[in-house]
């Protein structure tokens, strides 16, 4: 087990480079199973979700090689269609492999996927969409078993714009016979990124980023070399940390367009934000003013993956805020931990009612999930006094070199084994 020890109160100054997007890279690894050629993903983040996804691909018989910051996947020797239970539970994004594995082997077996403890995380939309493509699905002893003669293009209407279901169906439809139309598709930037990768591999897809994606199935896909988009959630996390601590930071390799909903809120908080090509500069030297409300929505609404972090910011603003979590059932597990640091926050159903306090006070807190853990780190950096954040393996799932980057900005944070 490891923990962070943080001495709060330092303002943050300096420049950090944003990692490639975790939620782009993970479905891209699944996409690499669709070809026997090598697929090279550039500048991948140093995160455990990626390492676990690489382990799953190796179990399928793929050769996965980390070459510096780049990752090369060679699926030519892939010969297994079963995703082991222990790895599927470790990683929600293992479910993305369903579409790719069925496309390659016309069969797939996966244990119900796990992931952060932020909600039920059903996969009914994934399975309903695969059935529309001709897949027969059985569920037995906690496993999903899929079979099909061949994948046949069809029209699919998603009940809700699920990111994972959209990506899974893009992967399954890439080499299906005929045309597939996905309606009410998710519009996240990572969906567009996946479409760019697949088209770079020879697929014929268009419409990602809108609500309707049209896929003309092709016979085969080939390898390619690809640089994913910047991680908008990592970028947003650093900007919120700077807004809370005060100072002036610059993010390199960032995409302001992909976090425009957050930038709008941070300006409302009184932060000065300058944009310059792929750089975002945030400056703040006073106690932020509260935003009246934040409602998480599918993209381009406010991202649920920044909900915990902006709630931590609201806790030390001047004024009151209401944060509403519309996507996941239990994404407020970090709230009792913020209370230990002095937050005045009440959760009723999907709403967190926050009364801004002057400051956080250092305390020992526990990370329960990836983004809630990141929010506790932001709170510790802004707090008066010493904090410890326990169980930081959750944070390692999505933030590469997190403490190094924060230290380079002047944060007093160290990782300690316990
Ligand atoms: C992706 O998860 C992201 N993960 C999540 O990021 C992100 O929070 C989420 O999209 C929403 O943006 C990856 O990309 C690896 P969904 P996913 O399917 O695909 C319901 C992080 O912190 N739903 O869009 O699992 C579901 O219950 C992680 O980086 C169904 O009902 O999210 C939820 O309420 C956390 N049935 C809503 O849709 C289904 O079959 C959104 O889920 C699928 C989803």
Digit-coded pLDDT (tens) for 8-38: 999 999 999 999 999 999 999 999 999 999 9
The pTM of this model reads 0.97
Which candidate, 276, 274, 370, 354, places its Cα nearest to that of 312? Answer: 354
The pLDDT tens digits for 382-391 are 999 999 999 9
Active site residue 116: yes
Q: Is 397 in the pocket of ligand 1 (CB under 6 A)?
A: no
Q: What residues make up the domain containing 405?
A: 2-19+230-417
**Among 207, 226, 245, where does a domain finish?**
226
Q: Is the pLDDT of residue 313 over 70?
A: yes
Q: Is 23 in the pocket of ligand 1 (CB under 6 A)?
A: yes
Q: Are 326 and 349 in contact (CB under 8 A)?
A: no
Rounded Cα gap, residues 322 and 177, in angstroms: 48
Q: Is 52 in the pocket of ligand 1 (CB under 6 A)?
A: no
372-389 average pLDDT score = 98
Tally helices (H) and strands (E) across the chain: 14, 24
Averaged confidence pLDDT in the chain: 95
**Among 211, 226, 241, where does a domain finish?**
226
- The residue whose CA is least distant from atom 10 of ligand 1 is 163
My answer on whether 14 and 118 are in the same domain is no
Q: Is 164 in the pocket of ligand 1 (CB under 6 A)?
A: yes
Which candidate, 369, 297, 286, places its Cα nearest to that of 330? Answer: 369
Cα(186) to ligand 1 centroid in Å equals 10
**Which residues, including other chains, have CB under 8 Å from residue 256's CB and lie 6 or more apart?**
263, 275, 280
Active-site residue, selected from the candidate residues 62, 80, 116, 160: 116
Token pair for 289 = 């003013």
- The residue whose CA is least distant from atom 30 of ligand 1 is 122
My answer on whether 209 and 323 are in the same domain is no
My answer on whether 117 and 192 are in the same domain is yes
Q: Is the pLDDT of residue 276 over 90?
A: yes
CA of 105: how far to CAs of 135, 146, 149, 168, 393, in Å? 12, 10, 10, 15, 34
- Radius of gyration over every alpha carbon of the chain, rounded to an integer in angstroms: 21
- The residue whose CA is least distant from atom 17 of ligand 1 is 164
My answer on whether 135 and 238 are in the same domain is no
- Per-residue confidence (pLDDT) for residue 247, from 0 to 100: 98
Strands 2-7 and 386-390 come out as antiparallel
Q: Is 103 in the pocket of ligand 1 (CB under 6 A)?
A: no
Mutate to test the pocket of ligand 1, among 125, 164, 333, 400 (most ligand atoms within 8 A of CB): 164
- What is the number of structural domains in the chain? 2
């Amino acid at each position: 087990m490891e923990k962070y020890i943080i001495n709060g109160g330092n303002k943050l100054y300096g420049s950090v480079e944003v990692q490639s997007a975790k939620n782009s890279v993970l479905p891209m690894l699944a996409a690499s199973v669709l070809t026997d050629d090598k697929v090279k993903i550039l500048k991948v983040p140093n995160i455990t979700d990626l390492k676990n996804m690489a382990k799953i691909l190796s179990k399928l018989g793929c050769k996965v090689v980390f070459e510096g910051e780049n990752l090369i996947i060679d699926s030519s020797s892939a010969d297994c269609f079963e995703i082991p239970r222990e790895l599927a539970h470790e990683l929600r994004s293992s479910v993305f492999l369903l579409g790719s594995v069925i496309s390659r082997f016309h069969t797939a077996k996966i244990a119900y996927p796990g992931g952060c403890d932020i909600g039920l995380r059903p996969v009914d939309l994934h399975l309903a969409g695969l059935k529309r493509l001709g897949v027969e699905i059985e569920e037995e002893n906690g496993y999903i078993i899929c079979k099909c003669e061949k994948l046949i293009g069809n029209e699919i209407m998603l009940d809700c714009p699920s990111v994972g279901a959209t990506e899974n169906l893009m992967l399954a439809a890439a080499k299906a016979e005929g045309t597939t139309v996905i309606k009410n598709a998710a519009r996240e930037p990572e969906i567009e990124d996946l479409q760019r990768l697949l088209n770079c591999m020879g697929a014929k897809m268009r419409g990602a980023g809108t609500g309707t994606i049209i896929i003309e199935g092709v016979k085969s896909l080939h390898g390619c070399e690809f640089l994913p988009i910047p991680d908008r959630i990592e970028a947003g996390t650093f900007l919120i940390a700077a807004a809370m601590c005060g100072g002036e930071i610059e993010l390199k390799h960032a995409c302001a367009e992909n976090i425009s909903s957050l930038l709008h809120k941070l300006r409302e908080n009184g932060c000065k934000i300058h944009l310059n090509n792929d750089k975002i500069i945030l400056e703040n030297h006073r106690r932020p003013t509260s935003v009246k409300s934040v409602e998480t929505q599918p993209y381009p609404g406010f991202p649920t993956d920044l909900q915990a972090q902006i709630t931590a910011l609201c806790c030390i603003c001047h004024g009151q805020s209401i944060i509403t979590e519309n996507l996941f059932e239990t994404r407020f597990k970090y709230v009792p931990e913020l209370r230990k640091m002095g937050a005045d926050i009440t959760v009723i159903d999907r709403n967190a009612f926050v009364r801004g306090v002057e400051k956080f006070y250092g305390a020992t807190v526990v990370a329960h999930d990836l983004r809630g853990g990141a929010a506790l780190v932001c709170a510790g950096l802004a707090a008066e006094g010493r904090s410890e954040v326990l169980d930081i393996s959750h944070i390692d799932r999505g933030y590469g070199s997190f403490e190094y980057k924060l230290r380079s900005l002047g944060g007093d944070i160290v990782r300690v084994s316990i």
